[in-house]
Amino acid sequence: MRIGLLCSYLALGADADSGIGQHYRILADALAAEGHHVHVVHPTSQPDAARSALAALSPPWTCDIVPVRTPRWLDRMLLRSWPSRVLMTELCAARAASRALALAVQRHGLEIIETHATGSPALFYLRRRNRPPVLTRVSTTMSQMNAASTISSRVKNWQAAIERFTVRSSDALVTHTKKHRDAICALDGYDPGDFAIVPHGLPDIASPRHAPLPADGAPEILFVGRFDHRKGIDVLLETIPAVLAAYPLARFTLAGSLGDGVDWEAFTRRHPSLVGNRVVAPGRLSTAEIDRLYARCDIFVAPSRYESFGLIYAEAMRHAKPVVGCDVGGIPEVVTDGVTGLLAKPGDVASLVACLVRLLADPSLRTSLGQAGREDFVRRFSAARMAIDSATLYASIAANIRP
């Protein structure tokens, strides 16, 4: 099949951390590995850097790097309004993408286009006639971010309205979990029946093994994510002293950006003897370093208050690690409680302590959950599985929607 991917975010470097960008890089690779012709259209305000990264990558798919430039007079007018600059850049990107995608469709004979709702890159292309069908993947929406924000912004409301218009104009819709589908439909008024479900996927790794305990017998608990409220870092930090009181040899590695640093600074003031000893926060790390931490750890924990999917859980399962998450959002559709991991109550310190202590007390349970998680990853969350399911969906859409 001849497939087009329109994405404003594209992980061309090994350590690019955009979730959407990682998804489309993995999807393009996996579809090409399945024998499909894949052409990517990538609008970007940094075209030279993107071209250099693409040349070094030599991917098994073709790509148009589309320069995005806002007029100088507009830049000057919006100099003091960062949200307005973001919105106008997105609109300029959508305009440039529409022209580039139309040419790519003619040149490559593309039969279907997949894009993302975030930033609405297909906004103008959807208005074209005699085009192939457009499938839009809806991740965390601007409406959801606005609802969770304490700051009201007219520009963000405009972005949410444009995103809703783009989603409703699309020929087909896809997201990654049923719970996320239901949440965005309740908030934005979409019809759940319009959505297909295709989970995210990850490239597999060779021979994941449970890391042996260090010589001192200290089990390691790993967290990966930004230190912010949605990721539940405040709950995890409050949990740590109680867990260490029960298992003094345990160690916590908390990998990721410290965010505003407030939660971590408060923890270091209250528990200076633990920091650098039983608890380390190495900050933001490379993909290779994060993979080494997954391979080394004994338990993975991420007590997020909401995840539409939670790729970090699939990453841990890929490494055959037992997972501790929360029973909220799309997480229960990734982590099966009592089978591939344990699910705590969101925001509940006592519940999270109980899950971690239970796993620390039972090495055989850790092993069985990790092995089951590994099997579930291969069955449901591998890049190959995502590519097969996506191609099946593309074929169904193309057969039912003619340009």
Q: Outline where DSSP puts E strands in 24-70.
A: 37-44, 62-67
Asked if the model's pLDDT at residue 62 lies above 70, the reply is: yes
What does the pLDDT average to over 115-123?
96
How much of the chain, in percent, has pLDDT values that exceed 70? 92
pLDDT at 400: 86
What does the pLDDT average to over 362-384?
96
d(C-alpha 110, C-alpha 112), whole Å: 6
Element (H, E) at 224: strand 220-224
Instruction: For each of the domains in the chain, give its residue range(s) and CATH number, in order of start.
Output: 2-203+383-400 (3.40.50.2000), 220-381 (3.40.50.2000)
pLDDT at 14: 60
Cβ 87 vs Cβ 95: under 8 Å: no
Cβ 269 vs Cβ 261: under 8 Å: no
What's the longest Cα–Cα distance across the chain?
67
- pTM, whole model, 2 decimals? 0.88
Lowest mean pLDDT among 143-157, 192-206, 243-257: 143-157
CB count within 10 Å of CB 106 equals: 9
Cβ 258 vs Cβ 227: under 8 Å: yes
What is the tens place of the pLDDT at every residue in 279-300?
A: 999 998 988 899 999 999 999 9
* Position 171, amino acid: D
Helix axes 349-361, 363-376, angle to 10 degrees: 100
What is the tens place of the pLDDT at every residue in 127-177?
A: 999 999 999 999 989 898 888 777 777 888 889 999 999 999 999 999 999
C-alpha dist (Å) from residue 84 to 47, 167, 311, 356: 22, 21, 31, 44
* Position 314, amino acid: A
CB count within 10 Å of CB 195 equals: 20
Cβ 243 vs Cβ 250: under 8 Å: yes
What does the pLDDT average to over 177-203?
96
Helices (H), 42-116: 47-57, 72-77, 82-108
Please, what is the Cα angle at 68 between 62 and 74, to 5 degrees?
Answer: 175
What does the pLDDT average to over 118-125?
95
Cβ 318 vs Cβ 208: under 8 Å: yes
How much of the chain, in percent, has pLDDT values that exceed 90? 76
Retrieve residue 191's tokens: 């019809």
User: Which of 110, 127, 119 lies closest to 170 in space, CA to CA?
Assistant: 127
Cβ 305 vs Cβ 349: under 8 Å: no
What does the pLDDT average to over 378-382?
96
**Beta bridge partners of residue 135, listed in sequence order:** 114, 172
pLDDT at 15: 55
Q: If DSSP codes are grouped into helix, strand and coil, which group holds residue 255?
A: strand
pLDDT at 349: 97
Q: If DSSP codes are grouped into helix, strand and coil, which group holds residue 351?
A: helix
Please, what is the Cα angle at 199 between 375 and 388, to 5 degrees?
Answer: 80
